[in-house]
Amino acid sequence: MRARRVAYRADGWGSGELWLDGERLLWHELPRPGADRDEPHPLADRLRAFFAGEPVSFDDVELDLEWCTPFQLAVAETLRRVPRGEVVTYGELAALAGYPGAQRAAGTFCAHNRFPVVVPCHRVVAAMGIGSYGSQGIEYKRRLLALEDVAL
């Protein structure tokens, strides 16, 4: 495997990066404030469009999921089917993936998601509120949901 880094800038969000093996996505870092070079790549173009508020689909993006357990794979596949503009709770996500009662494990998967936006963990909320969003924080999650016209 030979990983290639592609940096991109999203207006109003900052710089993000993709790590790819050919066209297979290995890792995605969400944009953060700061400047990096802006490289042309079809997936980077789609991410720029997403962060500009356009209704972009990532259903066809090939992901490196070889490291996943059967549970993690089921959660990732289920999460990719949660439509833009909708949210599910961690418990609902676990049940939809075939693992009712595994909401904490679903939350752990989301917390370690290598493919934010492509595997849209921002669409998963806590039963009693928005829930967390790792080092990016709740306001970042609110901004992502606002792009999809979700108000919590």
- Residues annotated as catalytic (active site), given as ranges: 121
Q: How many Å apart are CA 3 and CA 42, to the nearest integer?
A: 16
From the CB of residue 40, how many other CB atoms can be counted at a distance below 10 Å? 8
Q: Are 18 and 28 in contact (CB under 8 A)?
A: yes
Q: Which two tokens stand for residue 78?
A: 């289920």
How are the residues of the chain apportioned to helix, strand and coil, as percentages rounded to the nearest 5? 35, 20, 45
State CA 29 to chain mean position distance.
9
